[in-house]
Chain A
Amino acid sequence: MEVTMALFITKRLLMALATVLVVAVLAFMLVHAMPGSPGAVSLGAGATQEAIDEVNQRLGWNDPLFAQFFTWLGSALQGDLGVSLIDGRSVSADLASRLPVTASLAAGATVLSAVLGIALGVTAAVRGGLLDQVIGGFVGLLVALPAFWVGVLFVYLFAVQSSVFPATGYVPFEVSPQDWAMSLALPVITLAVGGAAFIARQTRASMLEALQQEHIRTLRATATPTWKILYIHALRYASLPIVAGIALQFIGLFGGSVIAEQLFAMPGLGQAVQTSVSTHDAPAVQGVVVIATVVVVAVNLVLELATKFLDPKLRAS
């Protein structure tokens, strides 16, 4: 059993590494396909061709593509993603400072949407009737609301009108845990609204199926407490698609945080992507793509492991 599990993890890790490598190659090729050269980007519109050529030469832009990629890969494996063409700063250092912002946003929104979504979904499935319809309508409304509009509304209500939360900015956790939480509150809620609705629908459907199972009926017949039946046995049976939904939420929120970052002026990866793409800062674009891929692949890996853990049939296979 342990050997099987170790083999499974090794295979999945190798697959994950291969995925990251393929994406790194694609990102590298896309950056090279972008119009303009690093010299032209870093020197601007007034630069002479001579000056541009000199910068390109210094950066190895004229070397064969294979050589350039392996040079970049060698550095990347050591944590060095190159330097920005615009300001010459380390891409790795910049992304390292931005990663906690986006991770806090995505993780916070995922947790909140999971808690709300599961509570709503279980309630709708278990209670049924009018309450199910009301929750269904409410969830439908939440799904339809664009995140940007929700954010604007929350800012107006809770920052502009009542000053409960700050309207903009991000305070790092190490500076002040309380201010960190306050600065994340509105953007996290903004991002969580749509996610909660999505998870609620997923949970309701899975729970309805779980409640029909024979072992649940048996538990009911043996007078097992209802909360135990619902939240331990039925929810565990229903959890596979819910966990998958939550993981997809996290991935989506990680990539989609740009809306919240812009609306709340937060220095995350979304803001970095926006800036680096608009300035044609190739190393920065490449760095963000690779980091985002690593996160997505890691989440998928965790999801697979969690699935294996939750489903006894899969665990035995």
Chain B
Amino acid sequence: MKLLTTTARGSAAVLTGALLMGSLAACGGGSSQAAPKADTSSLTLAIDSDSASFGFDPLRVSAAQRQFFEGLYDSLMTLQPDGSAGPGLAKEFSYNADNTVLTLTLKDDVTFTDGSKLDAALVKANLDRRSDPALSAYSAVAKGGAQEITFVDVVSPTQVALTFAKPQPGFEKNLTSTTGMIVGKNGVTDTASLSATPDGSGPYTLDPSTVKGNKYVLVKNDKSPDATKYAFKKVVFSVVLDPQARANALVSGQADVAMLTSSTVDFAKSKGVGVSQIGGTVNTMISFDKIGKTAPAFAQEKVRQAIQYAINRQALVDALHKGDIPAWNALPKDSAGFTKDLETKFAYSPEKAKSLLAEAGYPNGFEFTILAGAQTQTDLQAVQKDLAAVGITMNVKMAASTDEAFAAVATTPLGYAPLNWDNPVGVMYGAILNGFTNVQKATDDQLSAATGELAAAKDDAAVKAAATKLNTRLVESGWMIPLYEALTNQGYNTKKVAPVKFAGTNAYPLLSSYTPAS
């Protein structure tokens, strides 16, 4: 694909030459004017949710809040700009031969805000909190979790060993998110204190000017050796729930960076702000019940496939999610496992859907109920119309309480949620195969095998092969019924901030990746 037209390439060449000449002149002392100094005094990020609604315990939140907590806490491993796992509080790691023990070698110069120091005992004290059900970040490593840690042993003051219930190659990637964040001694001992006061060793500390639920002000932590990697002296996380208000805040200068929804991207661009985009979050219907316990029809793969054919994804996106991408793949477009084949194989075809339903013994369709929330109601109503056209009656019921919404995994056959596939193996083990979306304990040999292959894959080719197999089977089996891939949009003030970069396919840029515009 040509990135530039001939004319544009010519102009670019002239521009490059001019810039080069300018640079050379500057190097030679030809310019008497000093370049304006970049403004690194503060950075305001307008975010779409209250990062600290559960207080300042990083283990109470999921990986989606990694960016905020990255300011206050260090992780055992860190997410690298290319999306891989690199050293963090653990400067080295190694697995035993069968990948059941991961040994971490820790840094010895880390101090927490309470004055305590990092050592193996503190890491053990942190990870031993995994029996606490309130700690979402530990749900996969707790007892019975897909990545269960059975023991944490202090090998030496700077070495700690994690023993898994079953082999966990590639586990280190999990330690780059909130799961790997380490809380200081006071915080671990008195966990209630974390509701109001963070206790981390991160590059920033919480400033008293913070207003809970509205703006969180972080200022540089002079005790952190890594603080120099962060460009801005002060970072303000401003909670702006309304998408249009976030765009307004960015355009009018109250925010330097804002998370934009696809519907506000064009408006923001028209006002001259920059927008960096990445896919990665697939809004998917998930078959909770693959054994027909709550709706017998769902026990049949042909029925789930009929639903794949019945949904007009392009119409859904055109009507409700302009700017996003219709999805036939369970995995996002930037994933190694993405394949165009699924787009044609499961292209919209009400006739095929009807024929599959007839083959499955439901020529007149069937009826089931799905629970909706405020965010999902309109999408589900669009799907409802498509399903009705092939004879399936999907009753959309608004969840009356959070409890009812959570219980839907056991009481209804189908759900709907955004899924981020930054760590496909983690998602498969943690949510799909053994996790909360499979309380009926359905099994699928091909899915288990593909997930195992992906976990064990050592090179790009092997990853691609395994991920493609996994993706294809997720769709063919109807365990996943993808609808559209939402783009994550980071709008930024081009005069203040350099173009925002994402770390691999992670939807939340590293806090360290924000740099001033030069």
Chain A residues engaging chain B, CB cutoff 8 angstroms: 34-36, 40-48, 51, 86-89, 94, 97, 152, 155-156, 159-160, 163, 166-170, 262-267, 271-272, 275, 278-280
Residue of B nearest to A267 (CB): B214
- Decide yes or no whether B341 CB sits under 8 A from chain A: no
4 nearest interchain CB pairs? A267-B214, A88-B195, A45-B406, A167-B248
Would you call A51 and B133 a contact (CB within 8 A)? yes
Q: Mark B106-146, 1 if CB is under 8 A from A, else 0.
A: 00000000000000000000000000011010010000000
- Decide yes or no whether B251 CB sits under 8 A from chain A: yes
Q: DSSP majority for the B interface?
A: loop
- Inter-chain contacts of B244 with A (CB < 8 A): 152
- Inter-chain contacts of B238 with A (CB < 8 A): 168-169, 265
Contact for B252 among A36, A45, A167, CB less than 8 A:
A167
Instruction: Give residues 212-268 of B contacting A (CB, 8 Å).
Output: 212-215, 238-242, 244-245, 248-249, 251-255
Nearest chain B CB to A107 CB, angstrom units: 20
Would you call A271 and B214 a contact (CB within 8 A)? yes
> Could you list 20 A-B pairs, sorted by A, with CB under 8 Å?
A35-B404, A45-B436, A46-B136, A86-B53, A94-B212, A152-B244, A155-B248, A155-B252, A156-B248, A159-B248, A159-B252, A163-B252, A167-B245, A167-B248, A170-B214, A262-B245, A265-B214, A267-B211, A271-B213, A280-B402
Would you call B241 and A265 a contact (CB within 8 A)? yes
Q: With A47-B133, A51-B133, A279-B402 given, is the CB distance from A86 to B54 under 8 Å? A: yes
Residue of A nearest to B55 (CB): A87
Would you call B402 and A167 a contact (CB within 8 A)? no
- Decide yes or no whether B199 CB sits under 8 A from chain A: no
Residue of A nearest to B250 (CB): A167
Contact for B271 among A45, A160, A169, A275, CB less than 8 A:
A160
- Decide yes or no whether B401 CB sits under 8 A from chain A: yes
- Other 7 A-B pairs with CB < 8 A, given A87-B196, A267-B211: A35-B401, A47-B133, A89-B195, A152-B244, A155-B245, A167-B248, A280-B401
Contact for B136 among A41, A42, A44, A267, CB less than 8 A:
A44
Tell me the bound Cα distance from A160 to B245 in angstroms: 10
- Decide yes or no whether B18 CB sits under 8 A from chain A: no
Q: Mark B79-98, 1 if CB is under 8 A from A, else 0.
A: 00000000000000000000
Q: Which of B55, B214, B244 has the most CB of A within 10 A?
A: B214
- Inter-chain contacts of A88 with B (CB < 8 A): 55, 192, 195-196
Would you call A46 and B139 a contact (CB within 8 A)? yes
- Decide yes or no whether B459 CB sits under 8 A from chain A: no
- Inter-chain contacts of A41 with B (CB < 8 A): 402
Q: With A35-B403, A167-B248, A167-B254 given, is the CB distance from A89 to B213 under 8 Å? A: no
Tell me the bound Cα distance from A304 to B6 in angstroms: 79
Nearest chain B CB to A248 CB, angstrom units: 28
Tell me the bound Cα distance from A280 to B403 in angstroms: 10
Q: Which of A46, A266, A272 has the most CB of B within 10 A?
A: A46
Contact for A163 among B46, B55, B242, B253, CB less than 8 A:
B253
How many chain B residues touch the partner (CB < 8 A)?
A: 40
- Inter-chain contacts of A156 with B (CB < 8 A): 248
Nearest chain A CB to B247 CB, angstrom units: 9
Q: DSSP majority for the A interface?
A: loop
Tell me the bound Cα distance from A170 to B403 in angstroms: 34
- Decide yes or no whether B476 CB sits under 8 A from chain A: no
- Decide yes or no whether B461 CB sits under 8 A from chain A: no
Contact for A42 among B50, B134, B240, CB less than 8 A:
B134
Nearest chain A CB to B502 CB, angstrom units: 25
Q: With A35-B403, A89-B195, A271-B213 given, is the CB distance from A168 to B240 under 8 Å? A: yes
Residue of B nearest to A90 (CB): B196
Would you call A262 and B241 a contact (CB within 8 A)? yes
Nearest chain B CB to A112 CB, angstrom units: 22
Nearest chain B CB to A176 CB, angstrom units: 12
Q: With A94-B212, A167-B254, A168-B249 given, is the CB distance from A43 to B195 under 8 Å? A: no
Residue of B nearest to A170 (CB): B214
Contact for A167 among B53, B241, B249, B406, CB less than 8 A:
B249
Tell me the bound Cα distance from A89 to B214 in angstroms: 15
Would you call A168 and B248 a contact (CB within 8 A)? yes
Would you call B55 and A89 a contact (CB within 8 A)? yes
- Inter-chain contacts of B271 with A (CB < 8 A): 160
Nearest chain B CB to A52 CB, angstrom units: 9
Would you call A168 and B254 a contact (CB within 8 A)? yes
- Inter-chain contacts of B215 with A (CB < 8 A): 169, 267
Residue of B nearest to A45 (CB): B406
Would you call B242 and A160 a contact (CB within 8 A)? no
Would you call B50 and A275 a contact (CB within 8 A)? yes
Would you call A87 and B195 a contact (CB within 8 A)? yes
- Decide yes or no whether B400 CB sits under 8 A from chain A: yes
